Amino acid sequence: MMVGLHKRLLLGIAGLTTLSGLLLYSEIKENFKKTENLEIVKEDTAPNYLMGDTDKEYEIEDTLEKRKEFIQNAKKSLEKVVNNEIIEKNLVWEALGLGLDYGKLSPNLKSKNEDPNIGSLIQIVKINPSKYSLELLMKSEKGGNYRTAEQWTKEFNLVGAINAGMFRADYKTSCGYAINGNHVNNSKFTPDYNSVLAFNAVDSSVPPVQIIDLKHQNFDLIKPKYKSFVQNLRMIDLNGKNTWYQSDKIWSIASIGIDKQNNVLFMFSRSPYSVHDFINILKNSPLDIKNAMYCEGGPEATLYLSKNGKIINEFGSYETGFNQNHDNNQSWNIPNVVGIKEK
């Protein structure tokens, strides 16, 4: 019976398609061969198959207890390796009200240059779109002075706000397509910006909010169903794939995602990551993320939230080649935000 469990476990490992998965499968299979027909036991030995001790031949007692221990250790090992990355389980949620939660994710993969005051913490606001709506607020439409995310939130009676996306040198025009009802901020699609956040649905035939994947969905068919759109760089495609190559460049990051329950996720890290690593952390976390888009990086990245006495006022600092320090201590003015509005 236990041999059968071992073999089923090995078959499960074989289903992993990444190099790390294949190496892990080979390693556990080889060590399991050493245990199948053993009769002699060293009481002071214990299997430790993923801790670098593969050159030491362990002898494992052919008993129910030892085989259970083997399977438990192998399962723990599998939990640590997915797509060549560490599974992130250090996520804690705090309910701020019905349909609104604040999360703290402490990644196993630390920033290469983490902020000494906050560490490698990633902060998330999870929004149920049946309880809260999203609003696209742009200086080109609203006029007035330049505003921080906090000022946008307070002036327009929002619960919170995050960068709508990167902007051009005129400090008002979005780098990607941006439409809010009848107001046009940018009518042109930007090549390689392969995601569009669509919200303010006109009816219930579509989700209240979705991130349209321009490589996998027909935007022209979906467009009539929504009133607000903002185009950004794609991070996770509709198939769950990380769309960014690895890079030595790191920066603070603000992003928006959708989970598999159609909740909206505002995600922020002050400590800098390569976007590739940041995406893998999100993918391998308990967020159950479906797809995501990049909004902003460096000192401009910002996240603000105020609900039931809880205030989150976060802003970036570090950016390779621009601001390579953690000295920024204030939120920058940003021309366009996606805001959270209680229904």
What's the confidence (pLDDT) of residue 187? 98
Integer Cα distance of 8 and 14 in angstroms = 10
- Residue 120 is assigned to a structural domain of this protein: yes
Give the chain's domain count: 2
Integer Cα distance of 254 and 270 in angstroms = 9
- The answer to whether residues 20 and 138 belong to one domain is no
Alpha carbons within 13 A on the beta-carbon side of 4: 1
Domain hosting 331: range is: 91-342
Q: Within a 10 A sphere around the Cβ of 310, how many other Cβ atoms? A: 12
What's the confidence (pLDDT) of residue 44? 33
- What lies within 8 Å, CB to CB, of 5 at 6+ separation is 67, 71
- The answer to whether residues 41 and 76 belong to one domain is yes
Integer Cα distance of 273 and 281 in angstroms = 10
- The first and second tokens of residue 30, run together, are 């080889």
- Residue 306 is assigned to a structural domain of this protein: yes
- The answer to whether residues 99 and 30 belong to one domain is no
174, 167 Cβ separation under 8 angstroms: yes
- Residue 271 is assigned to a structural domain of this protein: yes
What's the confidence (pLDDT) of residue 78? 53
195, 136 Cβ separation under 8 angstroms: no
What's the confidence (pLDDT) of residue 299? 98
- Residue 85 is assigned to a structural domain of this protein: no
- Residue 280 is assigned to a structural domain of this protein: yes
Please choose, from the candidates 179, 160, 177, the residue with its C-alpha nearest in 3D space to the C-alpha of residue 264: 160
- The answer to whether residues 71 and 211 belong to one domain is no
- What lies within 8 Å, CB to CB, of 255 at 6+ separation is 235, 267, 268, 278, 292, 293, 294, 295
Tell me how long the chain is: 343
- Residue 136 is assigned to a structural domain of this protein: yes
- The answer to whether residues 155 and 71 belong to one domain is no
- Residue 159 is assigned to a structural domain of this protein: yes
Helices (H) and strands (E) in the chain, counts: 7, 16
What's the confidence (pLDDT) of residue 267? 98
Beta pairing, strands 91-97 & 100-105: antiparallel
Place of tokens 């995310």: 149
- The first and second tokens of residue 331, run together, are 């939120």
- The answer to whether residues 107 and 254 belong to one domain is yes
For the chain, helix, strand, coil in percent to 5 are 20, 35, 45
- The answer to whether residues 180 and 288 belong to one domain is yes
Helix (H) or strand (E) holding 66: helix 64-80
48, 80, 112 - which closes a domain:
80
- The answer to whether residues 45 and 184 belong to one domain is no
Alpha-carbon distances of 172 from 91, 164, 175, 331, 334, rounded to whole Å: 35, 11, 9, 17, 8
What's the confidence (pLDDT) of residue 15? 42
35, 55, 80 - which closes a domain:
80
286, 88 Cβ separation under 8 angstroms: yes
- The answer to whether residues 202 and 334 belong to one domain is yes
What are the residues facing 236 on neighbouring strands? 242, 292
60, 80, 100 - which closes a domain:
80
What are the residues facing 180 on neighbouring strands? 183, 228
What's the confidence (pLDDT) of residue 73? 61
For the segment 5-15, what is each residue's pLDDT rounded down to a tens digit?
A: 333 333 344 34
- The answer to whether residues 164 and 191 belong to one domain is yes
- The answer to whether residues 177 and 316 belong to one domain is yes
- The answer to whether residues 68 and 125 belong to one domain is no
Alpha-carbon distances of 115 from 30, 86, 104, rounded to whole Å: 42, 21, 15
In the predicted model, residues of the chain with pLDDT beneath 50 are 1-25, 27-62, 80-85
